[in-house]
Amino acid sequence: MEEVIHARGHEHVSAEHASTFEITTDDFLTPAGDCILAIEADRAPADFDPGFIEACQDDDATITLELEADGHRDSVTGRGDPALELTNERSAVGRTSEYVDDRTVVLEADCAADGIDRALVAALADGAELTATLRVE
C-alpha cells in the first residue's frame, strides 16, 4: 500500500536535523526548521486511507519513504508500530527514534534529514517540487 504527498522545497531547506525529517502543509519555513524537507504539502497523515494507517500500525510493518525532486532520488526506511496514530492535519514526521506523536509516520528510520542525499536537498533548497511516496509492507 502507498500514499503520495506532493510538496515543494524552499530556500530555507537545510536538512541538517540529526533525528527527524518532516514534510509540512505549512506555506512558510524559517531557518530554524532544519528538519523540514518541503512545505505546502497537498496532504498530511490525517488524509491517509484508513487501510494504509492500519497497515502502518502492524508490529512487523516496514515503511519506506521515497523522495524525488528535480531528477534526484533518495529513500528512507523504518518501521511501523501499533502506537502510530497518523492523525495530524499539518505535518508528516519520520524519526530515527521510537518516539511517537500524531505526526509520526515512521519509526527507527535509517536516516534523518541530515542523511538525505545532498543533491536532493540542494534541489529542494532551490524550490523544486517534491514527490514523497510512503510505502508499507
What is the Cα 8 distance to its own chain's centre? Answer: 13
Structural domains of the chain, ranges and CATH numbers in brackets: 7-136 (2.60.120.630)
Q: Please state, as a whole number, how many other Cβ atoms lie within 10 Å of the Cβ of residue 94.
A: 29
Alpha helices for the chain (secondary structure H): 50-56, 118-125
Q: Read off the pTM.
A: 0.97
What pLDDT, in 10s, does the model give residues 39-85?
A: 999 999 999 999 999 999 999 999 999 999 999 999 999 999 999 99
Task: Give the pLDDT confidence score for residue 66 in this predicted structure.
Answer: 98
